[in-house]
Structure 1
Amino acid sequence: MLRSLDIRDMLIIEHLALEFQPGLNVLTGETGAGKSILLDSLGFVLGWRGRAELVRKGAAQGEVQAVFELPPEHPARAVLHEAGLPDEDDLILRRVNARDGRKTAWANDRRCSGDVLRRLAATLVELHGQHDDRGLLNPKGHRDLLDVYGGLAPMRAQVRQVWRRAQERRKSLAEAQTALQTVREEEEFLRHSVAELDALDPQPGEEAELDKNRRLMQGAERIREDIAKAQEAISDGAEARAGDALRWLEAVNDKAEGQLDGAIAALGRALVELDEAGAGVAACLARLSFSPLELETTEERLFAIRALARKHNVLPDDLAGFAAELRAKLDALDQGDAELGALEADLAQAEAAYAKAADKLGAARIKAAKRLDKAVTAELAPLKMDRAVFTTEIAATEPGPSGQDEVIFTVATNPGAPSGPLAKIASGGELSRFLLALKVCLTGAESGLTLIFDEIDRGVGGATADAVGRRLMQLAQSGQVLVVTHSPQVAARGAHHWVVEKRVEKEQALTSVTHLSQKDRIDEIARMLSGDKITDQARAAAEVLMAG
């Protein structure tokens, strides 16, 4: 519900602070007093596109603030949460228009974009007028309105679910077909490469080991002679002499009174180390013993591994993993037709489920359309349009997440006349009454919206205007309705009444808005009945209207 609207320096408004109430809120005033400016200002703070020049002459900027009361489950809360904005019971929207045209907006004191404002506005306010293209006149929203009227949300959710499932199956099949086609195009290459890799069977780390062995064999002849000399020196020279020295010292140690103990122990350790050194040198000599054929074989395998790695643009150690990937592609190719068949079966099943759910939703829409047509027709008679025909047309359209039906509200204003879209067939006054009748029937479908009717009673009077007023009052019983009107019959039904007036101060036009007491309401409605001169008869007629 719109609780308050504060406007500063917008067009001919210097400052207005309005407090609105639940029920039917009526705004009246002379033509040109500024009633439409109030709606322009509200539309500005809601992010709607409107007039380019909004800042009052002489002011640096214009500013509008609107406060909405949000029930716990109001859909605006979801928009706030998605946008990362504070979610509170009072939603405070503020927007500033600078003189240079720059616009800045806030929601609950946090900066936000115009797109966020418009998404919030869609959950807060619905404007209806003769030139409104956002609400009931927009055919793009007719299917949604019919679904909500018919209580078809569960069916529609089911259709959306099976549509999503079918889309996922369709995507999986397309990806599998593309992958299989790609593999088929390179089948010859894959089979040749796998055979080549399997024949060589390279292992991780093998290339480094082969390279090391190759370098050892290439340098073996240069170092083997010196290593052999070292082995001879250790075995026949150093080790033998150290052994002799140890025997000689041990033979005289008992006569040396312990002075040779350290030397004997050191020679013992030295003999152990010499033995280990000799074994290591012998092992190295054994490894350096090879035939030229062994070097040739090692080089051939090393070069083959490196050539395959270059050919497939991978590291030598990655060849084994690469071979596994190619085998997996071949396996997929060999099993591809079977997998495609399974995916095609899954898709056919999903499409059948979608068609069944969409057909069920379509049948329910036809039933809901008949109920809506009957309800709107019943509302048209009191509005002096009993000869008009309202029809909800349902036609087949491209399948989608909301089904496979196109819904358009059409009218024929006279029997035998062709029907067509609301905005194209009905005249101004007829259109207003059609919109009102339709809104009365759809009102139960809305959740927490403030409904605004801008001169929807234009072109009607007398009993028809009275019927319009009664239906507006009916709409307001379960929520909040704001109506801008020139009709005394409509104004008389208001629970709260404001009069919009224009005055001139210092050669500048300014708009003011006054909340009327019960007595002032009688005078205002009497003025609307009789003109500038308010007579006792006009006051009496006003009281009769208000009492009715």
Structure 2
Amino acid sequence: MLVSLSIRDVVLIDRLDLVPGAGLTALTGETGAGKSILLDSLGLALGDRAEAGLVRAGAAQASVAAGFAPPPGHPALALLAEHGIGAEDGIVLRRVLGADGRSRAFVNDEPVGVALLRRLGALLVEVQGQFAQVGLADEATHAGLLDAFGRLGGERARTAGAHASWRAALRALADAEASVVSARKEEEYLRHAVEELARLAPEEGEEEALDASRRRMQQGEKRAEGYAEALAALSRQRGAATALREAARALDRLPQPNDEAEPPLAAIGRAQDAVAEAEMLLERLVADSGPDPQGLERAEERLFALRAMARKHQTSVDALPALLAELRGRLAALDAGEERIAGLAAAAAAARETYRSAAEALTAARTEAASRLDRAVAKELAPLKLEKARFITEVTALPEAEWGPDGSCSVRFLVAMNPGMPPAPLARTASGGELARLMLALKVVLAAGGTVPTLVFDEVDSGIGGATAAAVGERLARLAAALQVLVVTHSPQVAAKASVQWRVAKRSGKAGTVTTVTPLGEEERREEIARMLAGERITDAARAAADSLLAAGS
């Protein structure tokens, strides 16, 4: 709900800070005192059009800040989250208007566009008055309001889910058809590319292995020369083997006993074994490591063929196996395309039938709920001096091209204000006062289905009095049991029903004329209602009548 309203330099208001409470708040005061300025100020914070004339004479700029405390899960919080704006401590909408007519908008001190301010304002405050109807007059909201009134959330959710499934099935069918059309255009290319790649049969990691093998074969002659030189060094006349044999013979020729020579002889024996093993391994390497021109040629041909194929398809050699699989898949899709398309078409038709069934059930439920809504609104009209009016909820089937997640029918609230008149949209059928009262009747019936926590009624009691005004006040009080309601009123019967009453007045001084808003205590409220009853001269009879109204309203 609206928890604060701060106004600076707007027309006749120089500085005003208001703290609205829950329930019904009545704003009263003489004509011209500035009640409309308060609503214009609030409208500025809610994203209404900004005009330079709103800036107080002599001031450089005007500013309005409206603070809100929406309940958890309110749509306004989700909208702020979409735009990355935190709302842990509530929501503050602020508008600054310069004397040149330029304005800036802020949400929780973050600069935003006026469009976002307007969207948030529509979620937080609904204004109903003689010259401005927001919310119920918007036909886009009527289906949702009727569904909330009829408790059709389950039917609406099933319809939306079925519509999403149907659209997904249609997208899958369209994608498959487009894929087949595209594939047929390149069928010849696909078949040639698959044949060519399949003949080459690339393998993952093959390029690296071939390159390593090629380098080894290119170095084969140098390797063979190195192995032969090492073998020669071991086996030539003064090589390691000869030296070890001579050393062993020298130790064997020592006079006996020769025990101290045994350890070196054992070591020499082990060395002779190691040298013999080295000679054997080197001889094997020499035999196996000769140049292989044919093997090198085969490796190079394979490597060059793979790289040429990769360049042709503008990819890497390692990606060739995946490319072959992809092209084979596209060919398979082409070959089996008609069969797959037939299956997807059948699935889309089944999804359409599921949606149609759910939408028809929603339409039937809406039609029944519409009858109940019409009867409920009719009961509210007579006490509001609208006994000749006829409210109609129109449920109309839509052509298939307009079916959507909200169903296959449209919902409109229509009214005929007098017998014999054709029903027409709400905003084009009634005078200001009649329309405001009609909106009140509708709001009373539909209050449970709305998400806007704050309602503002501007002179909803215009042109009425007595019992009709009392009926208006009683309905506003009923609304205020569940919502925050602010009403600008000239009716003492309406003001007496309020839980809080503010008096709007003009005060003149050296600095000029300013508008003030004063919360009224019990005695002040009695005097204000007596003034509303009697006019400029307040009599004891007017005070007694005020006491009677206040007692009836409490």
Secondary structure at 1:380's aligned position in 2?
helix
1:447: how far off? 5.2
1:69 and 1:374 mapped to 2: Cα distance?
Answer: 35
- For 1:367, the aligned partner's letter is E
1:519 and 1:525 mapped to 2: Cα distance?
Answer: 10
1:471 paired residue number = 475
Secondary structure at 2:478's aligned position in 1?
helix
1:111 and 1:154 mapped to 2: Cα distance?
Answer: 38
1:26 paired residue number = 26
1:284 and 1:229 mapped to 2: Cα distance?
Answer: 6
1:121: how far off? 3.9
Q: Is structure 2 residue 244 aligned with structure 1 residue 246?
A: yes
Deviates more, 1:532-541 or 1:365-374: 532-541
Specify every segment of 5 or more residues in structure 2 that has no aligned partner in the other structure, as ranges.
Answer: none
1:143 and 1:18 mapped to 2: Cα distance?
Answer: 36
Q: Is structure 2 residue 432 aligned with structure 1 residue 433?
A: no
Matches for 1:299-310 after TM superposition, within 5 Å: 299-310=300-311
Change (3 A) 1:306 1:270: farther
2:417 paired residue number = 413
Change (3 A) 1:462 1:239: farther
Deviates more, 1:422-431 or 1:251-260: 251-260
1:67: how far off? 5.0
Deviates more, 1:117-126 or 1:498-507: 117-126
- For 1:360, the aligned partner's letter is A
CA offset digits 1:9-42 (Å, max 9, x no partner): 4332233343434433211112221112222333
1:227: how far off? 6.4
1:491: how far off? 2.6
1:538 and 1:463 mapped to 2: Cα distance?
Answer: 17
CA offset digits 1:85-118 (Å, max 9, x no partner): 2445xx36363626475546454xx647466655
Secondary structure at 2:145's aligned position in 1?
helix
**Cα RMSD (Å):** 3.6
1:329 paired residue number = 330
1:492: how far off? 3.5
Matches for 1:122-137 after TM superposition, within 5 Å: 122-137=122-137
2:16 paired residue number = 16
CA offset digits 1:357-396 (Å, max 9, x no partner): 1111111111111122222222222223222222122223
2:531 paired residue number = 527
1:79 and 1:337 mapped to 2: Cα distance?
Answer: 45
Change (3 A) 1:414 1:501: same
- For 1:125, the aligned partner's letter is V
2:150 and 2:130 mapped to 1: Cα distance?
Answer: 26
Deviates more, 1:460-469 or 1:21-30: 460-469
Deviates more, 1:122-131 or 1:272-281: 272-281
Specify every segment of 5 or more residues in structure 1 that has no aligned partner in the other structure, as ranges.
Answer: none
- For 2:26, the aligned partner's letter is V
8 Å contact from structure 2 (residues 233, 239) kept in 1: no
Change (3 A) 1:173 1:133: farther
2:320 and 2:276 mapped to 1: Cα distance?
Answer: 45
- For 1:248, the aligned partner's letter is E
1:519: how far off? 3.8
Identity of aligned residues (%): 46
2:307 and 2:24 mapped to 1: Cα distance?
Answer: 87
Secondary structure at 2:332's aligned position in 1?
helix
Change (3 A) 1:249 1:86: same
1:269 paired residue number = 271
1:497 and 1:219 mapped to 2: Cα distance?
Answer: 102
1:53: how far off? 5.3
Deviates more, 1:393-402 or 1:175-184: 175-184
1:363 paired residue number = 364
1:18 and 1:206 mapped to 2: Cα distance?
Answer: 79
Change (3 A) 1:281 1:185: farther
2:390 paired residue number = 389
Change (3 A) 1:285 1:388: same
8 Å contact from structure 2 (residues 97, 104) kept in 1: yes
Change (3 A) 1:243 1:93: closer
Change (3 A) 1:280 1:348: farther
8 Å contact from structure 1 (residues 217, 288) kept in 2: no
2:321 paired residue number = 320
8 Å contact from structure 2 (residues 497, 550) kept in 1: yes
Change (3 A) 1:338 1:547: same
1:298 and 1:447 mapped to 2: Cα distance?
Answer: 75
TM-score (norm 2): 0.84
1:426: how far off? 1.3
TM-score (norm 1): 0.85
1:451 and 1:303 mapped to 2: Cα distance?
Answer: 79
1:492 and 1:530 mapped to 2: Cα distance?
Answer: 15
Secondary structure at 2:247's aligned position in 1?
helix
1:160 paired residue number = 160
1:437 and 1:527 mapped to 2: Cα distance?
Answer: 28
- For 2:359, the aligned partner's letter is A
Aligned length: 541
Matches for 1:53-452 after TM superposition, within 5 Å: 54-59=54-59, 62-68=62-68, 83=84, 85-87=86-88, 91=90, 93=92, 95=94, 97=96, 99=98, 101=102, 103=104, 105=106, 107=108, 111=110, 113=112, 118=118, 120-211=120-211, 230=229, 233=232, 238=236, 242-256=240-254, 265=267, 269=271, 272-273=274-275, 276=278, 279-280=281-282, 282-288=284-290, 290=292, 297-397=298-398, 398-446=402-450, 449-452=453-456
